[in-house]
């Protein structure tokens, strides 16, 4: 069940504790508040992926993370994310019993990649995942995905395109080259954001590939310049 990036609000649904066949549960960025049921993982033996990050969960109390102890029943759990909340206390020592959790740093890396992808899309289009225009059927991720590549200039935040006019803008050829390169870079950036924020963790872009992609975009942008002229390197 993947319903992240919505505006549900309210307390964490206690009924999830009885979802014995659930494999994926993503409630990130949904404005949930209050405690997470301490027996959340009691019957969720098939759970592979749990993400409750970027909410208002927890109250800063020492017992906020008790639910982690119940996750030891989830022998198949590979991805666990609960960052950017209000949890207090310390991680229970039982977290060491999650045999697949955090192997090679996989959990934190994939969670960070997802957060980076959402943040990148936020900056590019100037809207948050909780914006009223997004629904359970069309998230920020899907909104950007269906716009590529033809409508990228329609969804990007207009403020990103503001710049002071120069003499080069009066040259029609330079203007065409400039706009083509800007569009090329924006399409590439949105593609990276989409690839990083894919719902299944295994389909998300590798962080090394993200860095290579960003460096390539930078080279394209600086190599030709926003006014269509090759710029000198300093």
Residue whose token pair is 């993370």: 65
pLDDT of residue 167: 56
**Residue 53: pLDDT above 60?**
yes
Instruction: Determine the pLDDT at residue 124.
Output: 92
| Strands across the sheet containing 79-81 | 24-26, 49-51, 79-81
User: What is the average per-residue pLDDT within 216-222?
Assistant: 85
Give the pLDDT confidence of 139-178 residue by residue, as tens digits.
889 999 999 999 999 999 988 776 655 555 556 777 788 8
Average pLDDT in the chain: 77
Distance linking the first and last C-alpha atoms of the chain = 51
Cα–Cα distance measured from residue 228 to residue 217, given in angstroms and rounded to the nearest whole number: 15
Q: Is the CB of residue 3 less than 8 Å from the CB of residue 51?
A: no
Helix (H), strand (E) at residue 12 = none
Tell me if residue 109 falls in helix, strand or coil. Answer: helix
Per-residue pLDDT, averaged over 74-81, amounts to 78
In the chain, the domains with their CATH numbers are: 10-97 (3.80.10.10), 109-222 (1.10.510.10)
Q: How far does CA 39 lie from the centroid of its chain?
A: 27
Answer yes or no: is pLDDT of 56 > 80.
yes
Handedness of CA 139, 140, 141, 143 (dihedral sign): positive
Bridging pattern class, strands 49-51 and 24-26 = parallel
What integer is the mean pLDDT of 93-100? 59
| pLDDT of amino acid 45 | 83
Instruction: Please tell me which of 7-16, 24-33, 146-155, 193-202 the model is most confident about, judged by mean pLDDT.
Output: 146-155
Percentage of the chain exceeding pLDDT 90: 13
């Amino acid at each position: 069940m993947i319903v992240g990036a919505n505006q549900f609000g309210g307390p964490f649904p206690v009924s999830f504790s009885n979802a014995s066949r659930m494999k994926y549960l993503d409630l990130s960025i949904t404005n949930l508040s209050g405690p997470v049921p301490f027996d959340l993982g009691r019957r969720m033996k098939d759970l592979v992926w749990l993400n409750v990050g970027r909410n208002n969960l927890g109250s800063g109390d020492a017992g906020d993370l008790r639910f982690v102890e119940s996750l030891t029943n989830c022998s198949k759990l590979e991805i666990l994310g609960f960052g950017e909340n209000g949890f207090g206390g310390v991680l229970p020592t039982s977290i060491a019993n999650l045999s697949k959790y955090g192997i090679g740093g996989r959990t934190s890396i994939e969670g960070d990649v997802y957060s980076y992808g959402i943040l990148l899309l936020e900056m590019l289009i100037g809207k948050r995942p909780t914006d009223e225009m997004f629904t359970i059927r069309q998230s920020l991720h899907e909104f950007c995905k269906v716009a590529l590549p033809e409508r990228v200039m329609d969804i990007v935040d207009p403020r990103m395109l503001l710049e002071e006019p120069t003499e080069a803008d009066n040259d029609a050829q330079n203007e065409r080259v400039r706009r083509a390169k800007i569009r090329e870079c924006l399409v590439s950036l949105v593609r990276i954001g989409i690839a990083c924020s894919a719902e299944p963790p295994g389909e998300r872009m590798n962080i090394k590939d993200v860095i290579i992609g960003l460096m390539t975009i930078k080279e394209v942008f600086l190599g030709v310049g926003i006014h269509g002229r090759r710029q000198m390197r300093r």
